[in-house]
Amino acid sequence: MTTVTSLYQGDYRSISTHLQSGTALITDAPTDNHGKGESFSPTDLVATALGTCIMTILGIYAQKHSLDFKGMKTEITKTMADNPRRIGKIDIVITMPDIRLDAFQKTELETITRSCPVCLSLHPEIEKNISFVW
């Protein structure tokens, strides 16, 4: 079953529509690769997918443990590599809301970030640095 349809608009821009919700997003080539940089690049979406997938599994953990992680924030930095052009590194800093967590819970949270489906789907050569601000 098709999940997303995409339509190329020209000038390195595409519009993709999520079929279940009807939500659309625009991708644009980055300025360092012939584009205008006016929207997410496809590789930005990959890095964003990793960050939001991590937040989703942390949210599932929170729900299972009667915790509230509302206000959790990620800062995502994607670094490209050359020859061939690809994502070389993704740095994610997760800032947690002001909530009491013991050392065991913090260790659990740090461990499960590596088990999200996006993290497990990315090529092992992509460096993934995930850190927390408690």
- Assess contact for 58 and 109: CB atoms under 8 A: yes
Q: What percent of the chain has pLDDT over 90?
A: 99
Tokens coding 94: 């997760």
5 DSSP assignment: E
The pLDDT tens digits of the residues spanning 6-36 come to 999 999 999 999 999 999 999 999 999 999 9
The pLDDT tens digits of the residues spanning 28-67 come to 999 999 999 999 999 999 999 999 999 999 999 999 999 9
pLDDT at 66: 97
pLDDT at 55: 98
